[in-house]
Amino acid sequence: MAAAYGLYTHIQSNKRRSIGLLIGLFFLVYLMTYAGALLAEALFVEVPLNDLDVYFRDPTGYTLRAAWRDFLLAWPWATVGSILWIVIAYYFHQSIIDAVTGGQEVTRTQQPRLFNILENLCISRGITMPKLEVMDSDALNAFTTGMNEKQYAITVTSGLLKTLNDAEIESVLGHELTHIRNGDVRMMVIAVVIAGVISFFGELVFRGIARGGLRGSRGKGAGAVILIALAIVAVCWILAIVVRFALSREREYLADAGSVELTKNPDAMISALRKIENRGELPDSNSAVMELCVDNPREGFDNIFDTHPSVDARVAVLVKFAGGHDPGPINPPLPQPESPPEDAAPPGGPWSSVSEPLQPQDMGQNDGQIRGPWDPGTPI
């Protein structure tokens, strides 16, 4: 198998893509700003009296030019807003994701098994050890976040820890470490930021439409301008989707290969993928978080918008190039809640299934039968 871990070409490609994504972010924001200016001119702005003659000669052209003037006034604010969004994402994206997923940072004392496995992997290759977080969920999944070495954090679910053995957990952690080394994590976080910005601006545009309706204040020509604006918004939405899903799915194949390169154990990577298969859904997490995971069970239309290759495809590559063995689909037992100790006191109470010892006062003195307070033979 090719030494996918640390491939110089892939790392350099991801760096170029990250820069391209940031440039694309501003381009899409500017398009959305112009679309908003078009809608504002068509729906809310009245034509000045001294421009009526020019407007009636070419209403569409006049509105487009007016919207362009509005855009030139608004683009500095759009730029500042985008930069602010990037800064917030850079410094606080981990806190935001933790708020969504409920992930909590853990120490060696809290999770010695997980901590030791990751530490051994990092020491073996001289990698800076990322932070570790555990998310309380029966789902089987893991993901990595962060923009630099000080921020990188690997989050695993409690279900993964209960279901996978040490070798399989080591493979999953190796997969996530490869994403860090190859620059995939930074690129995916930037893609999530782009999606957030476009969604925000798109919501502003549609709120403006809902507020003003589709009946323009300018009458003639307004309908064409509104259609142009909606077309621009649609293009931006599509481009934002393309940006997110154009990030090559090859990154998952390379991360799997990188894990095998780290652990020298293709069978553990394969069995980990088989156990995670179709059990990685994080119900309370949005699609942006799922795109960061080892496996994303949410499928797009006819697999066109899938962010991950299928587990079958990933296993087939590991079998072909790493010499692994595929056990086929695995149905691991679901994590069960911890049972109480055997010496724990049984629950009591009048409705308990465990009977309480009978006391002498509860027994009839003549026939040894249990009597209640309304029994005619019970003394008062």
Which among 41, 168, 176, 291 is annotated as catalytic? 176
Q: Is 176 known to be catalytic?
A: yes
CA distance linking residue 297 with residue 50, whole number of Å: 60
CA distance linking residue 378 with residue 362, whole number of Å: 9
Contact yes or no for 42/66 (Cβ under 8 A):
no
CA distance linking residue 35 with residue 206, whole number of Å: 11
What lies within 8 Å, CB to CB, of 356 at 6+ separation is 348
Residues designated catalytic: 176
